[in-house]
Structure 1
Amino acid sequence: MRVSIIQPTVKAKKRKKRVCAYARVSTDGYKQGESLENQVTYYKKLISSNTEYEFAGIFADKGITGTKDDRPEFQRMLKLCREGKIDLIITKSISRFARNTVVVLKYVRELKDIGIEVRFEKENISTISGDCELMLTVLSSFAEEESRSVSENIKWRYRKKFEKGELVINANRFLGYDKDEYGDLIINPAEAEIVKRIYTEYLNGNGMLKISKLLNSEGIPTVTGSKWNEASIRDILKNEKYKGDVMLQKTYTPNYLSKLKKRNRGQVDSYYIEDNHSPIITKEAWERVQLEMQKRAEAKGNSICSIKCLNRYPLSGILFCSKCGSPLRRRTWNSKYSCKKIVWQCSSYVKNGKDACEGTVIDDEIISRLNITESTVVKEEIQNGKKHYSYTSKGKQNGYGTEC
């Protein structure tokens, strides 16, 4: 028997490599923004000019640190990689891809396992090369150390500012004041009237909930444009800036990788400056409000003496709704039946219904597994018909030592 091989008359067309680029700058400054634009322009030209490449997009994160892996554009790129829509990622350097050694190796290994190459231009490294892992470990360690050094320098700079009495305050999230050309606080007359009214209403006997309802009914927004609630009223009533004083470094950042802020309870120095700027509320009125708040708390059994009541459960007082900022309250659903369930639910929704807040609710069984020990905002979302949750430290802010 003779077998003849018939050669194909049409040659298989070689598929182009689908190539994308990842770019990142860590601040929102003009020069950094310009740098990001330059990176995007450069990579578009680089990929489009190669006849063997098919352009698969530019993914660029602006104003986001590379020590974490929750960058939106970075995650969007990874999603497309996992869907098999990208073959090659080009990026400027390891530090642009990520400054955290663990993050670099985690994603490089994952991408390599699904056949996707990452190419670092500055270091001239490709993840398909044999000695890639060792080189990446060494070089990304240098990048991580650089990030730690930058973090320490920033902390040092802010500490020196605080020692000199220089303010680091975000006036855009601070009702009643603006900043002048020298960075000093100046009264915003329209917003100051709202602050005065809140203090007056409270001293006239109205509670925080009633004041928030009153302001919402009149269509008066908070400084961020959201609705008022008890927490936002309380923050204004307790803020020493309205009497002309200022407390600096109320929060601090213990970990340069996570960037999560924590309430300063004596772990680092804080700085109190009296008569720093023009007051909106007299010192006497401010002190009267503090005494009144204490008096009302004691009347409800919520004084320092009854702190046990406030902290009845490990998570009491540290979970907050992402939609309105109100604390989550522990509740028992179907308490009269055998199918009862323990949940944590938005207190504003419980008190005032959907008009006040759409509400956040999470099973105690789910949240208790996380071992949460600091104030945390719980975000509830529906994806593909299922509930998904994310958790963020309530004190998390951009920069070091900033106060709102």
Structure 2
Amino acid sequence: MLLPPHVSGQKLGKYQDLKSTIDEKNVNIGGYIRVSTKKDGQKSSIQNQGKLLRQWAELNGYNLVKNYTDVKSGAYTYLRNEMQLMFKDVEEGKIQGIVAKEIARTSRDVMDILSIKRTLADHGAFFLSIKESYDSRTDDDEFLLIIHGGLAQKERKTTSSRVKITQIIKAKEGKTNVSVPAFGYMLSDDRQYLIRNPVTAPVFCQVIELFLSGWGQLKIAKWLNKQGIRTRRGGLWGTNSVRTILSNPVYLGTTIYNATTLVRDSKGQQKRVVRPREEWIVRENTHEPLITEEEYNKVQTIMRQRREKYNHEWSCDRKYLLSSILRCNVCKGKIYGFADKQCRSITYKYRCLGGNGKCNGKIKIWNMKKIDNTILAFIAEIFSDRANMINFIRRNVDLFTNDLSELVKKREVKKTLLEQINNAIKKQQLAFEQDIITVAEYKERMAELRDNKLAAQKEIDSLNRKLEQIDMIEEKIYKVYEDIKALIDNIDSLPMEEKFQLVNNFTDIFIDGNGNIVDVRFNI
């Protein structure tokens, strides 16, 4: 068979025409079912959707092989296990298409809906929706799918907004929005308030006593697990779950709502972020406290002190002083240390492997002790004189000058603007709480103020970065000098740890084949 070079020279996949299955009978398909929650009312929805899909498949001449059922919200399809299994079955050829009651059952996000359709198409499968009479085999440009997906996304946003307003009203009235209360509490009979749990509240109080007596989080977790006590969700205790109950202000009788929200990142995955503090809803004395304010503050102080005590930088025993700091001047690659074991002796050396193919000749090897002494002598020489040292660092960092007065004035103007915006936000929130403005007016005005605040803060941050580079560079240079000057007087007899501290001020030291220093780059 004659093949053109752009076909024979590449591993191209075979084109699969989805339209070829339009007129076929008994095509194997799968049904996709989704409900939002595990509530009893949703169980009948699963049964009804399954019944509808079976009847539709029989009526239209399809062979419904299997139904895939997820209990998840309308967004974030990557979190749905059954959908991922569905894709796998499509890839393996067990089914050739998918049918759903409506497009919103698959997702309520346009990008997700397109991704689902395209994933199926990649494996020669099609997507059908009963309510919209949609068939991906006849929608070549995806125009209809985008329209239906946009409507589904709009509906999700509208529903979410209604739910959010209801939750905000409840929070302002001191009611709870949680379905699973914090350990030590349970929901009231009307599920509107937190009340003391007679079983777990004493356990929480005992945990506080043990912590204040000197127990650590791991020891408390082990004790709880040994006692057969489970977390609020029925799992085993760990340091994170213990830390959560030790730091949660809910035990002060305080309810905090609207502090965080979920957003979709650039990869389409959910990410939790903190809202501006002026948007938080904080209500005190909404339920019975299980800890006094004095005890709570003491617990937080102990936790902070322990974090500071054990928050050491990662470190290990380094044998090679300049490993990865040294660079070969020929190939510019990093030079690493190694132990050369010969008979009963060990000699430590540096070598450049020339892995990028740019190094000439054989593998370059240098005696480690000789190179270390050369570098330390070089450091002692250039830093023995303050003026020489300052000039040396100036040549190795990016210094720039600018009209500082104009930048400072501009920053002050932006700070004043930001303060005015924050005051306006507080006034709007107060007006909303006192029912002076409607929800629609509040949302419209707050959206505008948040956009203005974000823009002002970005400009301030940009100016701060510019001014910091200019204002702080001199201070950093002098600080480096003082740090190094204190070490170089007895540089040969310094402990290894202090030598590491000394050479870490360099990012790169380039040497030639003879071990001579060619170029040095400084780190500030």
TM-score tier by shorter-chain length is 0.5 to 0.7
User: C-alpha distance in 2, partners of 1:133/1:296?
Assistant: 57
User: C-alpha distance in 2, partners of 1:150/1:297?
Assistant: 42
Q: Is the 8 A contact 1:66 1:96 kept in 2?
A: no
2:126 is matched with which residue: 106, 117, 120? 117
Q: Provide closer, same or farther for how the CA distance between residues 112 and 285 of structure 1 changes in structure 2, counting only shifts above 3 A.
A: closer
Bigger relative contact order, structure 1 or 2, given CA contacts below 8 A and separation 6+? Answer: 1
Q: Is the 8 A contact 2:65 2:95 kept in 1?
A: yes
SS in 1 for 2:199: helix
Pair 1:163-2:172 in alignment: yes
Q: Is the 8 A contact 2:109 2:153 kept in 1?
A: yes
Residue type at the aligned position of 2:183: L
Q: Which residue of 2 aligns with 1:78?
A: 87
Pair 1:263-2:274 in alignment: yes
2:290 is matched with which residue: 272, 276, 280? 280
> Could you list the runs of 5+ residues in structure 1 that have no partner in the other structure?
1-13, 303-308, 313-329, 341-404
Residue type at the aligned position of 1:38: N
Q: Deviations over 1:95-116 (max 9, x none)?
A: 2222222222223233234332
Q: Which residue of 1 aligns with 2:44?
A: 34
Q: Is the 8 A contact 1:67 1:144 kept in 2?
A: no
SS in 2 for 1:219: coil
User: C-alpha distance in 1, partners of 2:37/2:180?
Assistant: 19
Superposition RMSD on alpha carbons, in Å? 3.1
Q: Is the 8 A contact 1:112 1:128 kept in 2?
A: no
Residue type at the aligned position of 1:195: F
User: C-alpha distance in 1, partners of 2:32/2:302?
Assistant: 55
Most deviating of 75-84 and 216-225: 216-225
Q: Which residue of 1 aligns with 2:111?
A: 102
1:176 is matched with which residue: 180, 184, 198? 184
Residue type at the aligned position of 1:263: V
User: C-alpha distance in 2, partners of 1:205/1:143?
Assistant: 54
2:215 is matched with which residue: 189, 206, 209? 206
Residue type at the aligned position of 1:56: V
Q: Which residue of 2 aligns with 1:229?
A: 238
> What is the deviation of 1:48?
4.7
> Could you list the runs of 5+ residues in structure 2 that have no partner in the other structure?
1-23, 324-524
Pair 1:136-2:145 in alignment: yes
> What is the deviation of 1:195?
0.7
Larger radius of gyration: 2
Residue type at the aligned position of 1:278: E
User: C-alpha distance in 2, partners of 1:143/1:60?
Assistant: 19
Q: Is the 8 A contact 2:253 2:286 kept in 1?
A: yes
- Report the count of equivalent residues: 296
Q: Deviations over 1:236-292 (max 9, x none)?
A: 22222223222223322345975532234x266112222221222233332333344
Q: Is the 8 A contact 2:127 2:136 kept in 1?
A: yes
Q: Is the 8 A contact 2:139 2:145 kept in 1?
A: no
Q: Which residue of 2 aligns with 1:350?
A: none
Q: Which residue of 1 aligns with 2:69?
A: 60
Q: Provide closer, same or farther for how the CA distance between residues 143 and 25 of structure 1 changes in structure 2, counting only shifts above 3 A.
A: same
Q: Deviations over 1:141-181 (max 9, x none)?
A: 22222222323333333223222322212335x21111111
1:218 is matched with which residue: 197, 210, 227? 227
Q: Is the 8 A contact 2:74 2:109 kept in 1?
A: no
Alignment of 1:374-385 (within 5 A): none
Alignment of 1:324-335 (within 5 A): none
SS in 2 for 1:57: strand
User: C-alpha distance in 2, partners of 1:49/1:124?
Assistant: 14
User: C-alpha distance in 2, partners of 1:212/1:179?
Assistant: 25
User: TM-score, with normalisation over the residues of structure 1?
Assistant: 0.64
2:202 is matched with which residue: 193, 206, 228? 193
Alignment of 1:214-363 (within 5 A): 214-255=223-264, 258-264=269-275, 266=276, 269-297=279-307, 300=309
> What is the deviation of 1:20?
1.9
Residue type at the aligned position of 1:177: Y
Q: Which residue of 1 aligns with 2:475?
A: none
Q: Is the 8 A contact 2:185 2:195 kept in 1?
A: yes
> What is the deviation of 1:81?
0.7
Pair 1:21-2:21 in alignment: no
Q: Is the 8 A contact 1:26 1:66 kept in 2?
A: no
Q: Provide closer, same or farther for how the CA distance between residues 287 and 70 of structure 1 changes in structure 2, counting only shifts above 3 A.
A: closer
Q: Which residue of 2 aligns with 1:391?
A: none
Q: Provide closer, same or farther for how the CA distance between residues 331 and 222 of structure 1 changes in structure 2, counting only shifts above 3 A.
A: farther
Q: Provide closer, same or farther for how the CA distance between residues 290 and 147 of structure 1 changes in structure 2, counting only shifts above 3 A.
A: same
Residue type at the aligned position of 1:27: T
Residue type at the aligned position of 1:16: N
Q: Provide closer, same or farther for how the CA distance between residues 254 and 155 of structure 1 changes in structure 2, counting only shifts above 3 A.
A: farther
User: C-alpha distance in 2, partners of 1:111/1:248?
Assistant: 40
Q: Which residue of 1 aligns with 2:400?
A: none
User: TM-score, with normalisation over the residues of structure 2?
Assistant: 0.51
Pair 1:153-2:162 in alignment: yes
> What is the deviation of 1:83?
0.7
SS in 1 for 2:68: strand
Q: Deviations over 1:297-353 (max 9, x none)?
A: 55x276xxxxxx6xx6xxxxxxxxxxxxxxxxx676x96699x9xxxxxxxxxxxxx
Pair 1:44-2:42 in alignment: no
Most deviating of 77-86 and 98-107: 98-107
Q: Is the 8 A contact 2:172 2:283 kept in 1?
A: no
SS in 2 for 1:90: strand
Q: Provide closer, same or farther for how the CA distance between residues 287 and 115 of structure 1 changes in structure 2, counting only shifts above 3 A.
A: closer
User: C-alpha distance in 2, partners of 1:295/1:176?
Assistant: 26
